[in-house]
Amino acid sequence: MERFVKKIVDLMREEQLFSWQGGPIIMLQIENEYGNIEGKFGQGGKDYVKWAAKMALSLGARVPWVMCKQTDAPDEVIDACNGYYCDGYKPNSYNKPTLWTENWDGWYTTWGGRLPHRPVEDLAFAVARFYQRGGSFQNYYMYFGGTNFGRTSGGPFYITSYDYDAPIDEYGLLSEPKWGHLKDLHAAIKLCEPSLVAADSPQYIKLGPKQEAHVYSENVLGEDLNFSLNQTKSRCSAFLANIDEHNSATVTFRGQKYNLPAWSVSILPDCKNTVFNSAKVAAQTSVKSVESSLSLSSDISLSQQFGTKNNSVYVTKSWMTVKEPIGIWSNDSFTVQGILEHLNVTKDYSDYLWYISRIYISDEDISFWEENNISPAVKIDSMRDVLRVFVNGKLEGTVSGRWVKVFQPVQFVKGYNDLVLLSQTVGLQNYGAFLEKDGAGFRGEVKLTGFRNGDIDLSKSLWTYQVGLKGEFLKIYAAEENDKAEWTDLSPDADPSIFTWYKSYFDAPAGTEPVALDLASMGKGQAWVNGHHIGRYWTIVAPKGGCQNVCDYRGAYNSDKCTTNCGKPTQTLYHIPRAWLKDSNNLLVLFEETGGNPFEISVKTRTTRYICGQVSESHYPPLHKWSTKNDLTPEMQLRCENGYTISSIEFASYGTPQGGAHNKRNVLLVVAHPMTKAHVLFSNNKLPDFQKVQSSRYCASRIGDADGKET
């Protein structure tokens, strides 16, 4: 570990990446959340923390070192907070700044799980509270979601997508309003910077039972807070918080009344005028869509090539196939007595490890089962992540889970039978004490039950081991190795087949939009494009219950709050980076385990076609007007993604566009087309001239009253 850390620090120094060299690196981290598991190692854990800190400091990086969630971090290292909320966190020394190294703006998604979403109102509330109560630095986890390509997803059972409900999604598109609202939040905090850095600590003022203010000022001590801002020359900024989870409140601060929605923070850069409230989202909402692309190619005509079903475009005649052998396929297999641990054998070269043994079944065994109306079964004390049981090449059953018991009935015939246990990993354990001992495959006893003379202990049997798949070993997913397989044409009316390789070719979609592969018609397996492993796929379905019809941002967030996608496959779309694509003849190869229909696979583009927003008298003027303070009218700003321009606008309001007593709720729908950058600005409650376009597709933003209640 010391050699590795030293190598990285030396490399950064050589490339002049540290801040004192003019580079961007202001801080380094040693260890991550070790404090959560330190106690499991006793005194050794405590000694290790001290050693790690001393080792890091000895490297002379000349920037601060931080340890996340490490309350016993040595004096020279800053302990930092990770979590959904860190406004109450204090480091273990007054000499250390308060750092928030992981602000969880979403959560992990597992196969067969619902999709977690963290409301931006709550996320902004958490950030504003952190700075309100003396925070110095915070970092989003994640800010850009990204993708777990190949077999890099951890967990186990984490999906291939790492979207994480982040401000920038897996495809590089802005997730609005999360991105825009956070942008406004940090612009507001930036306006407070002179006061924040001038004061050693804020002054706390109780405004109500669950309402409070924190004031940052050069001479806040001894200042009469009843004076107006104009009566003092000190730089002053204030944060007003309402931590009530249900009710809005009107408070008086410095002789002026302020309305605070429930679970919100207002930011006053001059201790007088509110420029931002965490619960009032003025940023636009983007409605992302996935659109089919006529991009899969073959040597037949266009009318023959594509079939349409449910508004999606599918390939109808361009697939080839080859079967994957069940069991032994190479000379590298070996035979030993007993059950070996999965990762010790595979070295994580592959998800797959075959265990093969031969079982003799006598006439007496057959008679015993028939007379007692029972079946033999494979019984395993514990296994993870996926087990498939084959007898004589036939799949008998599948079990999945993390260290679950197995009782799988099997059907034997008289004489010798080939019993094959296929152990599969779906991401490795990536956190926790002694994770190197977590392993994979089987634990405890492995037996055959239901025999006339009692159970058979397979733990003492001879087993032949085969690592991986033949197709993996031959790399038939790569263009230069593809011909090693004996591919045959696949008939559109062929029955779904297990443990089968498929291949086809497709052209890249026109344009620059991100590309996705829709694998909703498949079962479980892995996919490659031009030799690049785009990840594991699995159409396992999330539970039907547990999702919320209405997401209430108020109150403490947890990963089960505001979930979506109940009753649907956890993931069906898989990101293909355009850098991996050619204009035409892109090779697509899939390994399918459970049986799917490749003829309904489609290539799609991910884009933002609709944007919308809402504004009312209760909103604040845009932050870019703050410096002038001449026009403090609320306004709505709408912008397309790069390469798009607004092509049509739908406007709706209660009252007239020019304003009025009832003009409190306005909604805009904007249709975007790939042309040039553009934005529309509605100011002073006046609409620009435009031709209203009727549309059958509408987008409604969240509309709220002034007190934050949803309408």
Tell me whether residue 15 is one of the annotated catalytic residues. no
Q: Give me the catalytic one of 2, 38, 76, 102.
A: 102
Map residue 270 onto helix, strand or coil.
coil
Residue type, 224: D
Given a contact cutoff of 8 angstroms between Cβ atoms, the answer to whether 508 and 515 are in contact is yes
Rounded Cα distance, 225 and 37, in Å? 46
Q: Is 556 exposed, middle or buried (0-12, 13-18, 19+ CB in 10 A)?
A: exposed
Where b means 16+ CB within 10 Å and e means fewer, 95-128 reads ebebbbbbbbbbbbbbbbbbbbbbbbbbbbbbbb
Given a contact cutoff of 8 angstroms between Cβ atoms, the answer to whether 423 and 441 are in contact is yes
Tell me whether residue 212 is one of the annotated catalytic residues. no
H or E segment at 366?
helix 363-372
Look at residues 678, 652, 675 and name the one whose alpha carbon lies nearest to residue 665.
Answer: 652
Rounded Cα distance, 656 and 666, in Å? 10
For residue 376 the two structure tokens come to 């033999």
Strands 666-673 and 645-653: antiparallel
DSSP 612-667: EE---TTSPPPGGGTTT-S-----EEEEPPTT-EEEEEEEEESS-TT--TT---EE
Rounded Cα distance, 53 and 47, in Å? 10
Look at residues 579, 346, 600 and name the one whose alpha carbon lies nearest to residue 472.
Answer: 346
Please confirm whether the linkage preceding 142 is cis (ω < 30° from 0). Answer: yes
Q: Give me the catalytic one of 33, 223, 291, 445.
A: 33
What is the rounded end-to-end Cα distance, in angstroms, of the chain? 56
Given a contact cutoff of 8 angstroms between Cβ atoms, the answer to whether 215 and 223 are in contact is no
φ/ψ (deg, to 5) at 327: 105, -135
CA distances from 679 to 288, 641, 645 (A): 18, 10, 7
- Give catalytic residue positions: 33, 102
